[in-house]
Amino acid sequence: MSNKQNQWIVGINAVAAAVEHDAENVREVLLEAGAKNPRIVEIESSARRRDIDVRRVNQQALDGVAGGLRHQGAVARYAAAKTWDEDELEGLVEAAEGKALLLVLDGVQDPHNLGACLRSAAAAGVTAVVIPKDKAVQVNATVRKTSAGAADSVPVVRVTNLSRTLRDLQKLGVWIYGLAGEADASLYALDLRGNVALVLGGEADGLRRLTREHCDQLVTIPMPGVDVAGGVESLNVSVAAGVTLFEAVRQRQG
């Protein structure tokens, strides 16, 4: 993991979450000198309790490290984001004891979208988020900032071959539902209470052909306000992720 030796996490929520959930990977925390924000004071004491080096620096130093991202007076140097290997996915599914909820993202390119998806995933208590290693954004500083710390609390599993992973999940008893605008079946007609993987495509092209072929069923989110003939734009991928995940949560709490 040495190539990630100097990853920076930026922003109060992201830094607080890293210190809390993944302290062993936080190398140092830089906080704005003289900042009176109580959250910053909280981060400082939390980091010191965990024996993480804390330095108070001026705003210019933070601006330099944050590289244009809004840091709110807090950044942290990170050794490496905890990444989950694909061979750990089976253990995560089995540990969920028949109630695994997976979010599979097929080629999301925009770091803000991935960050927002992770945030919804964390709130929904997903088992794991699966992303391909190629042709998709990875968990970088912008993703971490947008996810408000969710990138550290949700297992993100990077896989080499998404189709093969979907096949392996099916063998573990996971039902694979892909979201496609032109599908006939409604999301709301599904039973999402067991082992379920919800598969969403990237911003431009949606689900790739091979990914579609490995889904048990394609479904759509009914949108009464959309004129299909007029080609009104479909939902943003992070909004669609939130809608589908929380439909599963609603059913599971029923």
Residue positions forming the annotated binding site for S-adenosyl-L-methionine: 201, 221, 235
Backbone φ and ψ for 240, nearest 5 degrees, come out as -60, -40
For residue 39, give the nearest of 7, 19, 64, 16 by alpha carbon: 16
d(CA 227, CA 234): 10
Complete edge-to-edge strand list for the sheet that includes strand 196-201: 156-159, 128-132, 101-106, 196-201, 175-179, 217-220, 185-186
Give the dihedral sign, CA 204/206/207/209. negative
Specify whether the CB–CB gap between 159 and 218 falls below 8 A: no
For residue 192, give the nearest of 119, 130, 246 by alpha carbon: 246
> Residue 186: in which H helix or E strand, if any?
strand 185-186
Specify whether the CB–CB gap between 68 and 77 falls below 8 A: no
Query: Which residues lie below 8 Å from residue 189, measured CB to CB, with a gap of 6+?
Result: 219
Residue positions forming the annotated binding site: 201, 221, 235
Helix 111-124 / helix 237-253 crossing angle, nearest 10 deg: 10
- Which residue matches tokens 């997976």? 102
In 69-139, DSSP assigns E strands to 74-78, 101-106, 128-132
